[in-house]
Structure 1
Amino acid sequence: MLNSLDYSPMAPQRGHNKSKFLVMMLAIFFLGLAHGYRIPKSIDHDEIYYMNGNVRCLRCPPGYYVRSHCTSEDTLGTCAPCHPGYTYSEHLTGLTECLHCAVCRADQIEESPCTITKNTVCQCKEGTYCPPDDSCEICLKCTTSCPPNEVKQAPCNSTTDTQCAPPEAGINLVAALLLPVLGIIFLLLAAVCVWFFCFRKSSDRSKWIPKILTVSLKCDEASSEDTETPFLSKRPTLHLKENITPNEKNEAINGAFNMFVDLVPAKKFERFVRELGLSDNDIENSKADNTGVENQRYTMLSQLHQNKNFDVNIWLSKLDSMKLGKVAQDITAKLIENGWLKRST
């Protein structure tokens, strides 16, 4: 018979091995069911029995320990329950005492308390973590900020640190879905613009599509011709004003440098100075010796001046050949407006 403290089923008579085994399994099943334990479908005899010398005994169910061993083959000895909150046994056991419950460390909190069939479950406190495959002797502090050029993908939890990744990683799917739609919209807008600027005066509405395509090609050809036309061939060259003092000359040169630094696009600046004759070594030295992008670019222009490669008209012409004619026009206008340079007559 079973009770709350221990149980010791009566030994069955010989010649009834099958009935004896069935009775023992039912006893273990109902005790295990009471404590939330399920016996596996495929049973290993080594998991059910243990050896007491030369006698094979049935193991006690989870939540119990062996108080006294069996004396008859394949029977159950006396099983006693573990002490709630202090000891436990999680599986079928042949041990003569229960296992001691774990006590959470100071850097942990108790997720679930110890029961007679389950050990204490501890986890790291908020703001700390411990990887599940780690021995977790101490909880590690969560990363509070991501490295440069990365964004937070997932917050820190008790088992995983903060997850960071480049921002592009999070928008690849959205971009893949939006790009085709944006492409179609762009083509429609381009067609409308071509019609509005190059074709709106035409009265033959029945041939819009072929005419739009034809006019579009013509417009592209005209645009190409305009960007390839040298800037200085259309406009007079620039020169310093007469009777200029050395200080005024230096001020004019420094002012010109600043105009080029401010207005030449960042992505094309190194190509600009390289095509004017500045070596790659000079470019790298300018970067290494100066902090701040503007100081680096100013040093590159100063190096061209020292190498006797400074001529504002050549520099403006170079911008025009790089299809930066609008930038050349803006620089010219500002240089003349500031009174540093004059147009040739």
Structure 2
Amino acid sequence: MAVKKRADQADLREPFYSRKFPMGTYLADDSKYLPCKDDEYTEYPNDFPKCLSCRTCREDQVEVSPCVPTRNTQCACKNGTFCLPDHPCEMCQKCQTWCPKGQVMLAPCTQHSDLQCGPPLEVSSSTSTVIITVSLLLLVLLGLLLVILRKRYCCRHHGAGDGGELSRKPSVVVQNRLLQQLGIRDNRCNELIYQNQQQQQQLLFTVQGSEVPRGVELEGTASRTSDPNVETQRKLVPVPGGNPIALLNQSFNTFVDCVPFPEWKRFGRALDLQENDLYLAEQHDKFSREPFYQMLNAWLNQQGSKASVNTLLETLPRIGLGGVADRIASELIRKGYFQYEVS
């Protein structure tokens, strides 16, 4: 009977010992489990008698995320070094800085791979022909669409008294609606700039003692080119009494709102940020614009007192966003952060 009793007791105790306790905890004694202490962790359900000690990043690494009770410290190689993912990372290796003669860069150095080089990629003549043909067709379709909208607008407003000359040109409203249909002007920054243009037009007619003809608005009086080869961007300076770095930091929200979000990495590379900087920025909420904001913060930290809003504005035309740079400059002036430099 005594043997049977011991067997029954073992059966009662067996489920407890066969259990796996939640990650971030450890088995304190035979009856309970406790959460891990500071600088300790367990990543998986377990029955350990104590938690594991957190990792400390090496001198050739940077800390990507700190240690928490359910995850060890996350480390990564510093800029310009890498570790192959299928090898133990005992020491980060230096990346190549250039490709051999006759080869071009196929992929930049990352935390997990060296600089990738290879022969130049040749585009076949048939592929080039297809690309050119499609581009020409798109340009022709866009031109036809503009002509149709222009004719409809002119017919609707022909002979509108003193506004007859203006009515033969597409107004700002028609242009904005066309761009919105094409998916170009569809963010919050454009709406703010458009409202500012309307206020300036109303003020202009009030000063001249004229009345705005119904259905007709003045065209922009200072149109700018988005061609990066043409220097049209006027320099901005902080408003009197303003802290340049503080105002630059406040202007980041305007850049985030106006620059198309898919272009944020290309913008960061044009600002000479490393791939590691972009990787760290991307660790934030990927479903919002937070990585874009963190990328601008990383650029500001690197530049320090040399950082200038003009650097950001002059970089945008280099990646084909000159029009966006103009709208951002107008919005920063409207908000009272900056003003044009007086020559």
TM-score (norm 2): 0.34
Report which of the two structures shows the higher radius of gyration computed on alpha carbons: 1
Highest RCO, 1 vs 2 (Cα 8 Å, sep ≥ 6): 2
